[in-house]
Amino acid sequence: MKRIEETRRRTAVVTGAATGIGAAVTERLAGQGMHLVLVARDGARLEAAAERLRAEHGAQVSTLALDLAHQGAPSRLAEWLADAGTEVDVLVNNAGAGLMGPVADSDPARVRNLLDLNTGAVAELTARLLPAMVARGTGAVVNIASTGAYAPAPYAAAYAASKAFVLSFTQAVWAETRSTGVRVVAVSPGPTATAMNTRRMPGKREPGAVADTVMSALRGRGPAVVDGRLNMFQAFVFGRLLPASAAARIAERSLRKAALGSQSSVPPGTP
Ligand SMILES: NC(=O)c1ccc[n+]([C@@H]2O[C@H](COP(=O)([O-])OP(=O)(O)OC[C@H]3O[C@@H](n4cnc5c(N)ncnc54)[C@H](OP(=O)(O)O)[C@@H]3O)[C@@H](O)[C@H]2O)c1
């Protein structure tokens, strides 16, 4: 992919763009002169974010309120972009949801909804927008995974498994597109101070720091990047050094209290 610095007035589509990590990424992309398409469910919040980006960066910003967990939503987004004649240069699949608690106590519909958003929409949007990038020989897809992708996470089982899908899917697509001029990369944050993770915990990172990692991942070459040194170390230990059974047992012990103490949509230590 051409360096983002060189890509004046190109267009990025960012999902989950009005808050947290997505909002920080849109700031960086707008700061580099890109036009933006912001997608999430809350239309008013998206429009407020768009207004800020227009005022601060002079960016051309469009918004589309869409529930990406709904079947048909990714195709609706792709059609909407095509109807507007928008060529997508960068796709950031950032929208995601968490679910905390034992699977046996979970609402099965919420488990399914999480998977539809965290995996189905990511894979479908990639498959819909990638071909035009490959045909043009330039572009980028960034899929936001999580350190939870690297090992099983008891009490956040579906969430971590969904992010393992994102990581594996992205690594495979990276290999498929290596010689096409298109940059494909998974970025895995660890605990980050956003609405999704309001728990107080040591080593928590700010969304802006994750956005900086996303920007350097866009300039890099490998298929996967973990945000922050401590997170990198943990992903290495839990994902590569320990067998999955040991990683799951250790994680279960350390996450049990937090998970059973407050069942919510917020994943515990491995967000
Ligand atoms: N925070 C962490 O500790 C952490 C760690 C690792 C990975 N991550 C990942 O980082 C990404 C961003 O999360 P965040 O931490 O920045 O949390 P966040 O501020 O809650 O952002 C999540 C975004 O996704 C959007 N979204 C949620 N459900 C959606 C749906 N069904 N359709 C379309 N958009 C939807 C939300 O907007 P609406 O509510 O308006 O739809 C929101 O803007 C997620 O993929 C998350 O899994 C977060």
Among residues 159, 165, 169, 174, the one annotated as catalytic is: 159
Cβ atoms 18, 47 nearer than 8 A: no
The whole-number pLDDT of residue 271 equals 47
25-35 residues labelled b (16+ CB within 10 A) or e (exposed): bbbbbbebbbb
Q: What pLDDT was estimated at residue 169?
A: 98
In this structure, which CATH number among 3.30.1450.10, 1.20.910.10, 3.40.50.720, 3.40.50.10680 belongs to the domain 4-261? 3.40.50.720
Q: Which among 177, 164, 167 has a CA at the least distance from the CA of 136?
A: 177
Residue type, 166: V
Tokens 């990692």 appear where?
A: 213
- Name the nearest CA neighbour of 42 among 195, 266, 187, 199: 195
Rounded to 10 degrees, what is the CA torsion of 38, 48, 118, 71?
A: -70
| pLDDT score recorded for residue 127 | 98
Identify which of 192, 206, 231, 265 to mutate to test ligand 1's pocket (most ligand atoms within 8 A of the CB). Answer: 192
Distance 95 CA to ligand 1 centre (A): 4
Q: How far, in Å, CA of 91 to CA of 81, rounded?
A: 12
Residue 141 tokens, joined: 């897809």
Rounded Cα gap, residues 176 and 179, in angstroms: 8
The two tokens of residue 214 are 């996303």
In the sheet where 11-15 sits, what is the strand order?
Answer: 61-65, 35-40, 11-15, 90-93, 139-144, 182-188, 224-226
| pLDDT at res. 93 | 98
- Half-sphere exposure in the Cβ direction for 103 (13 Å, CA): 13
CA of residue 20 to ligand 1 center, whole Å: 7
The question of whether 155 is a catalytic residue gets the answer no
Q: List the domain boundaries for the chain.
A: 4-261
186 vs 95, 106, 111, CA distance in Å? 14, 28, 23
Q: What pLDDT, on the 0 to 100 scale, is given for residue 226?
A: 98
Return the CA Rg of the chain: 18
Q: Distance (Å, rounded) from C-alpha 124 to C-alpha 141? A: 12
Helix (H, G, I), strand (E, B) or coil at 188: strand
Determine whether the shortest distance from the Cβ of 97 to ligand 1 is under 6 A. Answer: yes
The pLDDT averaged over each successive group of 10 residues in the chain (271 residues) is 53 98 98 97 98 96 98 98 97 97 97 98 98 98 98 96 98 98 98 91 94 98 97 94 95 84 50 47
